[in-house]
A = this chain, B = another copy of it.
Amino acid sequence: MADGEGARPSRVTIRTVAADAGVSVAAVSKVLRNAYGVSDALRTKVLASIQRLGYRPNVAARGMRGKSFTAGILVTDFENPFLFDVIAGINATFEAAGYKSLIGVGNGIGPLEVRLIESMIDFRMDGLVLVAPRLANEELANYSRQIPSVVIGHHEPLATTFDSVNSDDRRGAAMVVESFLRSGWQDIAMISLEPLDASATNVSDQREIGYLQAMQSAGLSHLARITHMPLDRAPVVNDTLHSYLTAASRPRAVFCWSDLHAIELRNLAHCLGIKVPDDLAISGYDNSRIAALPLIDLTSIDQSGRLLGVRAAEMLLTRIEGRSDAIHEFIEPRLVSRSSG
């Protein structure tokens, strides 16, 4: 009983270290931040004490005045397999720079995302990477003034208060259309995501634009049509896809804004006895690991998730260092052809 709570080891603080090393608290702090004005002798003495005592600075206390050496990552839809690589890239880059990163999951719910961002600010994190945030533009502008921010998968090339890294989504969409055209299919439709607002900042909005432009360039505007799906993967999605496949107006080829829906579609087609690609060609976007499975074998656009993550983290680091002009970067997409289209 006395054991359960009792063994409070009374945490070792900067004061403990200072006492142990026989120097002032300020001196230890200087060593920690490797700030100016500390001799080699002092440094080694302090480092030895830190080592011996197993001291770790308290981030909460640190955050009150200085930096927390931690960045927050906000992801929208935890389920999208596209995130794996992005997050791996972000984590690796931060890790190498001596930063920690913690992830918050927003579930595509605006209010929750807002609360998480605020929570990260309140934790005194040094910066934020927002992956495909579903926030109104003003909100984003507002928060990015409070904390260094970089977005991935959000197109706002004129924003001045935050950076962005994106796949060239218009180009990617066009690549799919062009590939379909080369196969001789013209009746090409698109499945996209419900737009959030009129600003066309979402990746799906940009892919729609790319799709429409490519169709127009090919003189096929009259065949272009877009179906919008809700974000949640409720039964609605399945029903919609089902009626989509069985309708008379079913296209010859479908470009899906994300592997997420393309995979569902390919499976549903399989169940309905619709041959892919003989009856229906399908392409996704993201080149996720599942799309690459031989049994799924989905044509897709690789947007180099890992690179997106790495670049975003690098940008955030320089922004934390003080850069204040905005950078907006594009990464070239790559078509990965597989049996589905």
**A295 to B161 alpha-carbon distance, docked (Å):** 45
Which of chain B's residues has its CB closest to A325's CB?
A: B4
Contact between chains at B100 and A103 (CB < 8 Å): no
| Cβ–Cβ contact B100 & A115, under 8 A | yes
Q: Measured between C-beta atoms, what is the minimum distance from A116 to chain B in Å? A: 7
As for how many copies of this chain the complex holds, the number is 2
CB–CB B119/A59 < 8 A: yes
Binary B-proximity of A86-97 (CB < 8 A = 1, otherwise 0): 011001000100
User: Any chain B CB within 8 A of the CB of A118?
Assistant: yes
Q: Are A122 and B293 in contact (CB under 8 A)?
A: no
Question: What is the minimal beta-carbon distance from A321 to any residue of chain B, in angstroms?
Answer: 13
Flag if B123 contacts A60 (CB, 8 Å). yes
How many angstroms from the CA of A256 to the CA of B124 in the assembled complex?
A: 44
Minimum C-beta distance from A50 to chain B (A): 14
Binding-face segment, A151-159, A214-222, A262-270? A262-270
Cβ A60 vs Cβ B68 within 8 A: yes
> CB-CB < 8 A to A116: which residues of B?
100
Residue of B nearest to A5 (CB): B324
Would you mind naming 21 contact pairs between A and B with Cβ atoms under 8 Å apart?
A: A4-B161, A4-B325, A58-B64, A59-B123, A78-B87, A79-B84, A79-B289, A87-B105, A91-B107, A95-B112, A100-B116, A102-B102, A102-B104, A102-B119, A103-B103, A103-B105, A123-B123, A267-B294, A290-B290, A295-B295, A296-B296
- Please give 16 more A-B residue pairs, beta carbons under 8 A apart, in addition to A4-B161, A102-B103: A4-B325, A56-B122, A57-B122, A58-B64, A59-B119, A59-B124, A60-B64, A60-B122, A70-B119, A78-B87, A78-B88, A100-B104, A100-B119, A102-B102, A267-B295, A270-B295
**Chain A residues in contact with chain B, CB under 8 A?**
3-5, 7, 9, 56-61, 63-64, 68, 70, 72, 78-79, 84, 87-88, 91, 95, 100-105, 107, 112, 115-116, 118-119, 122-124, 145-146, 160-161, 263, 266-268, 270-271, 289-290, 293-296, 324-325
